[in-house]
Structure 1
């Protein structure tokens, strides 16, 4: 390995130490500089002395590639230029490119997530074998808040909706133009006029026929494309509305709370029974990061529910129902057979097909179903339901 004037430094922990492959938990080969802090992945890799000598004889100098990861920005690869071969080397290791980050390669969907150490290590080793010096800088603690990440996703979705609307409009214009061209050519041909074989007009008539067909086909294809793009635009435009839908949000909170309980159990198990190794300490640190992220995300979505309640949304729960009440679920009223912690037990949902109200014993199935509270849209007591049914019967008898 080439000599350096001084050891490279880790941005978080100071000067690095020279290590051999047999001391590496990260899996790097040869000799390399690594951070001295336990479980830190920051490293500085240079090609072997033999490869450096060979490159010097050839008069080539690869340069330095920097791979960084923060949860705020994701995994980025910098130092590459078009045509230098880096893209071809790192492409098999999840790195890609995009117009949003010109001149930078990156791992897609790596923001707000733990570093993909496997892909980073494999890419670094492949670059090193090709003669590049590789610097790895991983900082798991630098991240953006969940509110910032969600706001960014909403903004990107709005921009995507606007972009697709433009694409859809362009496709619709091309469809209209193609159909207009086909109609213009057809209007110049008398109705029912056949192609006169052997006549001087035969070639033009055949050409007009082909143009009518090709433009009609293009018009249909562009119309289908415009419809598809319009659906994409509508889906992107409704992203925030879907994300903040109270029912969807309640189900999301329940899942996140289950994830948080699992993380708490994992932290407790590692604290009580862990072996105290660097690897175990790194895992506990990651669990604590995940715990903080989950707590922040749950708080965000609870605030969304609080705002929905302020606007009139009702969060249903066990205290709202008693056996014999009626619950509105998926547009049908069912008698409540039992009240549970997260749902109410109702007659089987298939008994509700074509019915407005379903009581115990009304249907052909004696089985039961459960209606989770996040899908409930209304409640009536047995007396209120009976009054409603009596009023409907009296009105029908008039």
Structure 2
């Protein structure tokens, strides 16, 4: 018996599979991946999200068609965004530690490979003596050159591996900071707001009738849609509330500027991406800026770093 499970904390996984039982091909076809660290199949990007029912249903149907018995255990609850973010930060910190350990190991391997390469080179005849063809030393000389070449090649590869490992570790240290950059947070708030409005429109959207075309949805249909979309709306609203709190704290601390059309007017000068530009128009979500040419650029208010009003 195979069991497809889902929880907000663990994501979508499947229990009961074994190597060579024929499930791998079915799962791969339906977008599942094998997780070496957890020794289980999982649906990518399903952790910290509501269940992807279409993927689960499609997988269950395919497995049953292949002769397997499948049951599901789906939890539709979502964790608070604050808890989700705390988990992400903790996992990222663990990943950074692991990458630095790996980088240190690669650096040690690099040093050892260079030592071996240097030793192999030192064993060659001094001064670059040519091979004496036909001499009893010819075979030994050729073998020494081959060993030195292989050792140097391994040293070069070890250096490249160490450099890549260190770069990955250095990049990983900035991941959490990048997620909480003021502009990124502001953009995320805009995206979440748009997602919520889209879901709300789906509740009241007209339906298509074969005879009449598009007609207004009935109250029963609206309620059914609302019940179906409620978990998604609740999750998005909780995320929006969390990130709005982060944004407010950033503005209060001075990390973010918090400009909008109430305090930015036409003719003001603003600094965006290191350049001072004149405001042509203050829009609802963006400012239109001069470019020095016949057209204007637009930028979100969150990107305004400094603001000056002409005296």
Which TM class, normalised by the smaller chain length? 0.7 to 0.9
Counterpart for residue 65 of structure 1: 2
Find the counterpart in structure 2 of residue 169 from structure 1: 104
- Separation in 2 of the partners of 1:288 and 1:311? 35
Residues 73/203 of structure 1: CA separation in 2 closer, same or farther (3 Å cut):
same
Q: Give the drift of 1:114.
A: 4.0
Q: SS at the partner of 1:97? A: strand
2:50–2:78 contact (8 Å) kept in structure 1: no
- In structure 1, runs of 5+ residues without a counterpart are 1-63, 349-362, 384-398
- 1:295-331 CA deviation, whole Å, 9 max, x = no partner? 1111111111122123222211122223332111111
Structure 1 range deviating more: 333-342 or 298-307:
333-342
Deviation of 1:257 after TM superposition, in Å, equals: 0.9
Counterpart residue number, 1:334: 277
Q: Describe the SS at the equivalent of 1:191.
A: coil
Aligned to 1:346: 289
Structure-2 change in CA distance of 1:334 and 1:145 (3 Å): same
* Structure 2 equivalent of residue 27 of structure 1: none
Structure 2: tracts of 5 or more residues without a match: 208-215
Provide the C-alpha distance between the structure 2 equivalents of 1:366 and 1:127, rounded to a whole number of angstroms: 61
Is 2:49–2:78's contact at 8 Å kept on the other side of the alignment? no
Partner of 1:255: 191
Q: What's the TM-score, normalizing by structure 2? A: 0.85
For residue 185 of structure 1, give the secondary structure of its aligned residue in structure 2. helix
Number of positions where the alignment pairs a residue of Structure 1 with one of Structure 2: 301
**1:194 correspondence with 2:130:** yes
> In the aligned structure 1, how far is the partner of 2:65 from the partner of 2:302?
55
Asked if residue 138 in structure 1 is aligned to residue 74 in structure 2, the reply is yes
CA contact (8 A) 1:68 1:75 kept: yes
Between the aligned partners of 2:225 and 2:110, the Cα distance in structure 1 is 57
Alpha-carbon separation, structure 2, partners of 1:107 and 1:89: 13
1-structure distance, mates of 2:219, 2:133: 92
Is 2:19 the counterpart of 1:76?
Answer: no
In 2, Cα distance between equivalents of 1:290 and 1:165: 38
Is residue 78–residue 235 contact of structure 2 (8 Å, CA) maintained in 1? no
Q: Deviations over 1:39-66 (max 9, x none)?
A: xxxxxxxxxxxxxxxxxxxxxxxxx222
Judge conservation of contact 1:250–1:374 (CA < 8 Å) in 2. yes
What aligned pairs does 1:277-296 form with structure 2 within 5 A after superposition? 283-296=225-238
> Structure 2: how far apart are the matches of 1:159 and 1:238?
13
2:82 equivalent in structure 1: 147
Q: Are residue 179 (structure 1) and residue 107 (structure 2) matched?
A: no
CA RMSD of aligned residues (A): 2.6
TM-score of the aligned structures, taking structure 1 as reference length: 0.68
Pick closer, same or farther for the CA change 1:222–1:261 going to 2, 3 Å. Answer: same
* Alignment partner of 1:308 is 2:244: no
Cα distance in 2 for partners of 1:86, 1:336 equals 60
User: Which is greater in Rg?
Assistant: 1
Q: How far apart are residue 281 of structure 1 and its match?
A: 6.2
Higher-RCO chain (CA-CA 8 Å, sequence separation at least 6): 2
**3-state SS of paired residue (1:319):** coil
121-130 or 165-174: bigger deviation: 121-130
Looking at structure 2, the residues matched to 337 and 207 of structure 1 have their Cα atoms a distance apart, in angstroms, of: 75
Moved over 6 A (4+): none
Shift in alpha-carbon separation, 1:177–1:110, aligned structure 2, 3 A:
same
Matched, 1:227 2:163: yes
- Indicate the residue corresponding to 2:217 in structure 1: 273
Q: Give 2:213's aligned residue.
A: none
CA distance in 2, matches of 1:382, 1:106: 58
Distance in 2, Cα, partners of 1:91 & 1:366 = 53
Q: Distance in 1 between matches of 2:29 and 2:219?
A: 36
CA deviation string 1:323-374 (max 9, x = no partner): 33211111111222332222222221xxxxxxxxxxxxxx4x2322223211
Q: How much has 1:72 moved relative to structure 2?
A: 3.6
Q: Secondary structure at the match of 2:57?
A: helix
Structure 2 counterparts to residues 79-90 of structure 1, below 5 A: 79-90=16-27
Alpha-carbon distance in 2 for matches of 1:334, 1:145: 41
Distance 2:158 2:248 in 1: 45
Quote the Cα distance in structure 2 between the aligned partners of 1:236 and 1:380: 37
